[in-house]
Chains A and B, each alone.
Chain A
């Protein structure tokens, strides 16, 4: 052990295996005698199920069984919603397989279990279903209007919630400037590289479920609660998982039904979705209508902010559906100071796929709302958009700062990040080019967009989750085991699905224990191996789980110190720990921690009261969230003849606190920015008026590839978090949160001289062209 590991751009331990195909995706796994499940899904957005007849399917070759919802009625329970955000919330019954009524296209109504997938697919065609159509409810405003058809008996309002702080009336009374805008966060489909897949097996007593999930631990608890199978008889394994972006932070119908089928048939069963099936039935993201009013003084200082959201829940409340808009509740005020704030949110039921967490979850929506509005304020006052932000943001010397929404931001330096971004971007030069193109009436106009942001990461302090009425805690757990030969097993309760925890956790443990990076292995994602955990989402893994690893290593080191003192015949206080060895101060006597692991294993000579193991467990629960921040700048070229938008350059300076592995951080920022740009320019889940999803394939649901994106220029400032001993803040979502408004602000900036002050996302060429046509007329 020589150099410090934390901060090194280590190549990922995971990659050689991933890149050479030696992976264990759930779909690659099999069990002797495995059966294949296929689901028949509703083609109707809303209908009463009059009759389901699976008998013809049962008779087909290779078919072992076929069932409808009625066959599960007694045992399937209701899919859980763990976050009842308000007193008035309505949580409708949500059977994994529809029994009497379907409420979105894609809802499962029957299934076939066959000896192979091909026969199962053929047999689906033989199932007969009679539907009695009911009216679809697609539009949120219409859903809330009196006389709208109902999605559920209790009506179309799922919940309402309000937060107020300060005197809003006073802030708006006689305000010299009021900006009043409505923005639409389109519906998105999280698209992980690996589709969802589940396999379940039983030995007659116990059950094992393999699932492409982000949350094996939460899933285990929930499967027990939903099915009544005792928790200790369920083991959940998340093998290699190829991305999630929140979509695998879910307890899905397919997971519950596969478990029930394994129990009913006494055989292993497996299901893997197709991409089109995924587009229909992976929970969707975003989908908000944001009405924002902002009052300001003539110099641009914000007086008050009022936010009213309609949030589309879809047909049911899934694991954290209603909590998603509420994660933005305390962040519309963002990095700015103001006198008054009000946030209202109404959750609305529609006959569409339920929404839930999608990368950023509530925070991209909030950041978009405020950052678009700040640009409108700048335009109204004829100020530079950077200047308006400067006049309002919290200055670095003001931290810790308790915001109008009640969060305490522990640290940050918005000035430093912004200055760095401006100089990397060449802001003044681009503004000069913009002016020139405007003067020349160049058909290709240049637009410059800025987005500053902060977000709350490290979900989450358990106490705060309790106050928010969330159904679980936010701690994380880690164990460290020193093996006889001095190698180390780190067991983490986080559940990586592409983030590189194995590498980062190795770096953390290498420094804490003074053992080589190569001597550490990290185990995760199996409830029988990593017995406690709260899994991976909300940029929490490093900030909570990484810190738990530090704590577990600290405990091992203190145990080793006792053992070292005994072996070296000195007092523990006389020992210095350096480079992996305990040294008796003032002598050349020492023992490495790896040698001591062997001494603990043989146990030939242990001091009294010391057990024969250098192991430990630790749990970490922070007192506060962490608050990454940053400044993103985007330059776009808008072809005013065709409406095509091309990103010319993109600069991001993020402050994610202490960086464990810069390569991994860059990767997260790259992917995040790409995903945020995708919302700005490309992606949209489109339902027609009858509630049919029109974007079921990738020809219609457009995802950008590397060929559609520029090279990003990335840099960092490092202001350590004070809420955890690593000083880390979380980086999983930052890029996605900041980039969407940066791109749209740039587009609007290019078009503003034409009299355009908004373009709806995604800003397709056709939408940009229509906006221009609208003002040309």
Chain B
């Protein structure tokens, strides 16, 4: 299908990009285009200007910054999953990213685009939420840091203001003793998650001391499985863990679509959370 007419700008600096965005209320940022172009082609969105941030130096690359990894908004999925800074500093990000779509899309789609798009079915929002990432936004007014917990507002809606550009994301490194797993449930290799579970689990001497769990596609935004997290404080591996994971869907409001109705999604969240926590904690 064919999008409605729009103007196209390709600024050469982040400051110029902010200006271009500020100049048109109906302007949209174009990153890898893997989510935006389908919307345009189906005529579900009618922006009047696309501001292509693809070549902005400031948004590129993945950087190890000591206590955190800074992932530039324009880092492609392929770049992220292969980055040593990511695989060693925040392996959960690499695990989830390697399961995004297929290689062609991973070479175009970007980390920042995935988050700014705020699709609760995307794999990365739940991961960044689970890891308490901090999103760095730039606008003509300057820079602002937004904790992941405040970033995802509603279905396809983030707390970025019109005119703000996501520059990158700080992912805090977790120290010794943490294990990770992303459990994605989908019907075909190329389809989106029916439900996904991002788990970071801290172990010590056969007990789980702390767990952080983000859920994909269990509501209009990515959500934390807070009840399960609470119950997973200082518990022994085994039956207690299973019971804690029974609470994984508490407080969620999963969508209904052709792939799953809400009750099935809740069931999946419980089963998959148990699997993710078990794998992350290294238990068979």
Contacts and interface: CB of A to CB of B under 8 A. Distances in A.
B191 A642 contact: no
A644 B195 CA distance: 13
Given A276-B42, A695-B258, A702 B188 contact: yes
Contacts of B190: 705, 707
Nearest to B1: A274
A695 B259 CA distance: 11
Interface residues of B, number: 24
Contacts of A704: 188
B4 to A, nearest CB: 7
A764 B1 contact: no
B70 interface: no
Contacts of A276: 1, 42
A775 interface: no
A253 interface: no
A705 B267 CA distance: 27
Interface in B1-44: 1-2, 4-5, 41-42
Interface stretch (A116-124, A349-357, A566-574, A584-592): A116-124
Interface string B188-202: 111110100000000
B55 to A, nearest CB: 25
B264 interface: yes
Interface string A674-709: 000000001000100000001101011011110110
A277 B258 CA distance: 20
Interface string A261-289: 00000000000001011000000000000
Interface in B74-93: none
B258 A117 contact: no
B56 interface: no
B185 interface: yes
B263 to A, nearest CB: 9
A694 B257 CA distance: 10
Contacts of A770: 264
A682 B187 contact: yes
Interface string A652-685: 0000000000000000000000000000001000
A736 B190 CA distance: 22
Query: Chain A interface secondary structure, helix, strand, loop or mixed?
Result: loop
Interface string B259-276: 111001001100110000
Interface in B172-223: 185, 187-192, 194
A694 B187 contact: no
A117 B188 contact: no
Interface in B233-284: 257-261, 264, 267-268, 271-272
Nearest to B5: A122
A641 interface: yes
A646 B192 CA distance: 18
B189 A705 contact: yes
A122 B4 contact: yes
B261 A642 contact: no
A702 B260 CA distance: 13
Given A118-B5, A121-B2, A642-B268, A766 B188 contact: no
Contacts of B194: 765
A769 B267 contact: yes
Interface string A346-377: 00000000000000000000000000000000
Contacts of A708: 188-189
A642 B268 CA distance: 6
Interface string A105-125: 000000000000110011001
A117 B4 CA distance: 11
A644 B185 CA distance: 9
Interface in A701-752: 702-705, 707-708
Nearest to A120: B2
Contacts of B267: 769
Contacts of B191: 699, 702
A769 B1 contact: no
Nearest to A121: B2
B189 A769 contact: no
Contacts of B264: 766, 769-770
Nearest to B185: A642
Contacts of A765: 185, 187, 194
Contacts of A118: 2, 5
A763 B272 CA distance: 20
Contact of B188 (A125, A641, A705): A705
Contacts of A702: 187-188, 191
Given A274-B1, A708-B189, A769-B264, A642 B271 contact: yes
Contact of A766 (B1, B5, B41, B261): B261
Contacts of B257: 700
Nearest to A275: B1
Interface string A743-777: 00000000000000000000011100110000000
Contacts of A682: 187-188
Nearest to B270: A641
B2 A117 contact: yes
A700 B235 CA distance: 41
A686 B187 CA distance: 17
Given A118-B2, A121-B2, A766 B185 contact: no
Nearest to A695: B258
Contacts of B189: 705, 707-708
B268 A686 contact: no
A482 to B, nearest CB: 47
B196 to A, nearest CB: 13
B198 to A, nearest CB: 18
A644 B187 CA distance: 8
Contacts of A121: 1-2
A765 B187 CA distance: 8
Interface string B96-123: 0000000000000000000000000000
5 contacts: A274-B2, A695-B258, A705-B189, A708-B189, A769-B264
Interface of B: 1-2, 4-5, 41-42, 185, 187-192, 194, 257-261, 264, 267-268, 271-272
Which 10 A-B pairs have CB atoms at the shortest separation, nearest pair first?
A707-B189, A121-B2, A274-B1, A766-B264, A708-B188, A641-B271, A700-B258, A766-B260, A708-B189, A702-B188
Given A117-B2, A708-B189, 12 more contacts: A121-B1, A122-B5, A274-B2, A277-B1, A642-B185, A682-B187, A700-B257, A704-B188, A707-B188, A707-B190, A708-B188, A769-B264
